[in-house]
Structure 1
Amino acid sequence: MRTFTRAVAALAVALFAMVGLAPAAFAHNQLVSSTPADKSSVDAGPSTIELTFDQPVQGGTGVNTVVVVGPNGTDQWQGGDASVRGNVVTVPVRELGPAGDYRVGYRILSADGHPVAGEIKFTLAKAGNGTPAPPEQTKTAGTAAESTGDDGGIPVWVWIAGAVVLLGAGVFFALRVGGGAAK
């Protein structure tokens, strides 16, 4: 009976570890707000785009990319490199030109090392007088505006396999120790 109790205790501890501690391992940085807001309409173009995430973002030159694409789908309107302050990424924006839908693609590196990519959209209701960034200041669309779908994290099956191995080892250990103590 003592062996059975130890096995059940080991199983309970392993299940608690899997269920209670796993959400922290699977949590990835997410965009919580932006200025301008996603799907909003503005009368005048913003001077900066601000992206606020739920966790800190790594800073550094070339680590994070933000691309502002105009209504024609090719002209870019960002005015420089992205800067980071804690969980907020900011990029300067040139004076916008034609009215229409603008896309802000981003690819950031979370403090935990996971890349996160996404996009927000806003509509410029009234045309401005700006001109797009010259070709030498544009970024490749693949770095920010498109997400590959791979967040760079460890696949779920690896976590499940690891949990099964740990659970098996815990049960084996509990039975082995319990069996020796009963004799």
Structure 2
Amino acid sequence: MTTRRGARWSLIASIVGFMLLGIAAPAWAHNVLIESRPGDGDMVEGAPEIVELVFDQRVQPGFNTVTVTGPDGNRWEETSEATVSNDTVSTSLHPLGPEGEYTVGYRVLSADGHTVTGSTTFTLSTAGDGEVPPQPVDESTESAEEGADSGDTGGMPVWPWIAGAALLLVVGVTVAMRLGNDDRSPKK
């Protein structure tokens, strides 16, 4: 009878441990860019009016930036504060000018609360008739491109979460086994 009780406690501890791992799992995953319009590396003839970035998870509103830098080094987004709709982040563009490669830098607030940065490119094959728009002075919008260049996601590494969950599981199993052993000790 006592062996069953110890086994039961071990099973309960294991289930609780795996549940805690399941709760911690969403914190491990940062948003990942899955699609962009124009597509990464695309050659486009006509200048797009908007840039859209689609992520694998919902993007939290606020503090999201998208910058579009042309081959001339000038910025072409109308505003660096991006529009967020669930998993899609977008920004409107000024009419583009020179032909060549445009870099779309982004910094978004991931579903798990961490910032994710990156960049895509597209090439305008035919020059547009747009003139260089007024350039932003705010340094915070430039950080989206800098973060994209460094590859920094701004998130916490996964290994502390895994180590913490494993430690919690070991402690739970140990406590359950000791409680099971206490049931076998002779009663006085």
Match of 1:159? 161
* Deviation at residue 18 of structure 1 after TM alignment: 7.0
Worse overlay, 139-148 or 24-33: 139-148
Q: TM-score, normalised by structure 2?
A: 0.81
* 1:60-99 correspondence runs (5 A): 60=62, 63-72=63-72, 74-80=73-79, 81-99=81-99
Q: Displacement, 1:10?
A: 6.2
Structure 1 segments (4+ residues) deviating >6 Å: none
Alpha-carbon offset, residue 153 of structure 1? 3.0
Amino acid at match of 1:157: W
Question: Do the aligned residues in 1 keep the contact of 2:55 with 2:88 (CA within 8 Å)?
Answer: yes
Q: How does 1:13-32 map to 2 (within 5 A)?
A: 13=15, 16-17=18-19, 23-32=25-34
User: What are the ranges of 5 or more consecutive residues in structure 1 without an aligned counterpart?
Assistant: none
Asked if 1:41 corresponds to 2:40, the answer is: no
Alpha-carbon displacement from aligned partner over 1:82-116 (angstroms, at most 9, x marks no partner): 11112111101011111111100000112331111
Do the aligned residues in 1 keep the contact of 2:70 with 2:76 (CA within 8 Å)?
A: yes
1:140-151 correspondence runs (5 A)? 142-147=142-147, 148-151=150-153
Percent identity between the aligned chains? 43
TM-score, reference length from structure 1: 0.83
CA contact (8 A) 1:107 1:117 kept: yes
Find 1:178's aligned residue among 174, 180, 184: 180
Q: Distance in 2 between matches of 1:69 and 1:113?
A: 27
> SS of the counterpart of 2:84?
strand
Deviation track 1:11-64 (CA, whole Å, cap 9, x = no partner) reads: 74477447655543311111111111111010011001011112111223xx11
Q: Which runs of 5+ in 2 are unaligned?
A: none
Measure the CA separation in 1 of the matches of 2:152 and 2:128: 37
CA distance in 2, matches of 1:25, 1:38: 27
Code of the residue aligned with 2:176 in structure 1: it is A
**Partner amino acid, structure 2, of 1:116:** V
Q: Please tell me whether the aligned partners of residues 36 and 50 of structure 1 are also in contact (alpha carbons under 8 angstroms).
A: yes
Partner Cα distance (2:102, 2:182) in 1: 70
Write the distance in 2 (CA, Å) between the matches of 1:135 and 1:22: 43
Distance in 1 of aligned mates of 2:102 and 2:12: 55
CA RMSD, Structure 1 to Structure 2 (Å): 2.6
1:67 and 1:139 in contact (8 A); partners too: no
